Chain A
């Protein structure tokens, strides 16, 4: 409490801090709460034995004596020693009856699920004024909603601190921060994180992401990228760990991109699933030669087979049928080069170079997902549009914002229609066939129709593709006739195999297996 007016020593004003909003998952299970915390301070002028004080604090808080000593400037009247003390630590120090110490009450964030959703949540730091400020993720994006408005109390008090009833007594209550109810399901999040960790260890990947969404609403059910960081001790981590790859990392998607081009060609009626293409060998585009991943060719194959065997030359054919203008228009329709405006801080927009800078080889390679930079969240949004009936929907993490007595529901926002219901139905069937007749055989849940596509993208390093470094991915959905979930798995530079079919795909099926059990989805085949 501080004296606000020199003329009236009895008048005290005190800022009333609002309680920062809490964060819950879609089933109202807490992800972020507030907990009691204390700041230890010392009034050096009241200290009679500095050495004993230092030793006592050091033992109680298990902090190096030298670091406390460095803060304790005996020429000052008030020195903050340590923040974020727990009730137990405070009680321990209270019992010692040390002269000259005191505690200021604070609250700090508590994470019941530890760092399960580190990148989604973000963290709470301090600004120049020492006030709490949210950084990254939801803490950053919804900082204004979460922080609330402070109140104040102005009161005249006697020497014992009792209110003087006939004096000034004014109190403006703080407006507590709003609570956020997320679209995230913590069980799906846990499944995704556990499986991603296992997958990264098994395939020796450098980094990895798993995003699971409801394709009909683009409610994000889980979003995990590893490595992540400890929310409680975020300051111990290098800033590289803070970036959420799912929304900020630009990469070339590779073959997971192919269904988008096929859907565009179906929509424009340039191809039909059973049309044939004569796959005879490599295709030349200008001075470049394009080949299939294994340089093997099957002769006459259907459009569905092009997806099944992930034929690059077949995709170049589809791209030619679709036409350059259509390719570029559809890239824009799918939202590439634009922010998805997901409600998380730190999103990158990707880059789609202007149409007049495209060379023929660019139009050829983009059909199989090379030569274009996208973020995983852009990729899953675009993919959702071709399997949900054709709607490009803004992805979102927050389902409801709850303030005192008022609930604001955030509804799915349709950006535009990209393809028709008929195209969407056809592409879903083609993608089921792609999983069932793919060249790799996976241990997938039996009796369930699952659609999906693998991707293996080469990583450009200093303008040259390094064949040993790839980004392996798989995007899939189930059940195929009415998708309940759409999951995108990305593994960066796996070492056991460079192929998405041998790394990301098995990891996807492990996750899909768990989700089918969790959602109690019945077999359809």
Chain B
């Protein structure tokens, strides 16, 4: 009877240790996941701000002006007149 009690207690204790280990390891895994998600959220927030900034830059008048200048749209070309229309009549 005593042996049965000791064995049962031992088994329960072993079970509790295993369960405790499982909870402990799960806790660490979960904590790591929380940490990861926190970092990912933070990174996403930063990326979001960077993308928002890039999008705003690309739709800004400043950017449009710089592009227009680069492609020569802002330089008004001197008009070309056809003086010798006689060629057109031939």
Could you tell me which A residues sit within 8 Å of B by CB distance? Answer: 29-30, 33-36, 87, 105, 107, 110, 112-114, 116, 158, 161-166, 186-187, 190
Contacts and interface: CB of A to CB of B under 8 A. Distances in A.
A276 B35 CA distance: 85
B31 A164 contact: yes
A164 B35 CA distance: 11
Given A35-B50, A36-B50, A112 B34 contact: no
B50 A113 contact: no
Contacts of B46: 36, 87, 105
B30 interface: yes
A165 B30 contact: yes
B52 A114 contact: no
Contacts of A107: 49
B53 A35 contact: yes
A163 B34 contact: yes
A117 to B, nearest CB: 11
A421 to B, nearest CB: 38
Contacts of A164: 31
B28 interface: yes
A36 B57 CA distance: 15
Contacts of A87: 46, 50
Contact of A163 (B35, B42, B52, B61): B35
Given A30-B56, A34-B49, A107-B49, A165 B31 contact: yes
Contacts of A33: 49, 52-53, 56
A186 B56 CA distance: 13
The 4 closest A-B pairs by CB, nearest first: A162-B31, A112-B56, A30-B56, A112-B60
A109 to B, nearest CB: 11
B56 A163 contact: no
A116 B64 CA distance: 14
Interface in B17-47: 27-28, 30-32, 34-35, 42, 46
Contact of A36 (B49, B56, B59): B49
Contact of B27 (A35, A165, A190): A165
Contacts of A186: 61
Nearest to A187: B61
A113 B53 contact: no
A87 B53 CA distance: 13
B16 to A, nearest CB: 16
B62 interface: yes
Interface of B: 27-28, 30-32, 34-35, 42, 46, 49-50, 52-53, 56-57, 59-62
A87 B61 CA distance: 24
B49 to A, nearest CB: 5
Contacts of A161: 35
B31 A158 contact: yes
Contact of B61 (A35, A113, A165): A113
A158 B30 CA distance: 13
B62 A35 contact: no
A190 B35 CA distance: 46
A470 B51 CA distance: 49
B61 A162 contact: no
A30 B60 CA distance: 8
A112 B53 CA distance: 8
B35 A29 contact: no
A162 B62 contact: no
Given A162-B28, A162-B31, A29 B59 contact: yes
A356 to B, nearest CB: 52
Contacts of B42: 105
10 contacts: A33-B56, A35-B50, A35-B53, A112-B57, A113-B61, A162-B31, A162-B35, A166-B27, A186-B61, A187-B61
A110 B62 contact: no
B53 A110 contact: yes
Nearest to A162: B31
Contact of B62 (A34, A105, A113, A165): A113
A327 B75 CA distance: 53
Nearest to B38: A163
A306 to B, nearest CB: 42
A190 B61 contact: yes
A163 B30 CA distance: 9
A164 B30 CA distance: 10
A171 B3 CA distance: 51
B52 A162 contact: no
A522 B89 CA distance: 39
A192 to B, nearest CB: 12
A30 B70 CA distance: 23
A278 B44 CA distance: 77
Given A162-B35, A190-B61, 13 more contacts: A30-B59, A33-B53, A35-B50, A105-B42, A112-B53, A113-B62, A114-B62, A116-B61, A158-B31, A164-B31, A165-B27, A165-B30, A186-B61
B41 to A, nearest CB: 12
Nearest to A157: B31
Task: Name the residue in B28, B31, B49, B56 with the highest tally of chain A Cβ atoms < 10 Å from its Cβ.
Answer: B56
Task: Name the residue in B28, B49, B62 with the highest tally of chain A Cβ atoms < 10 Å from its Cβ.
Answer: B49
A162 B35 CA distance: 6
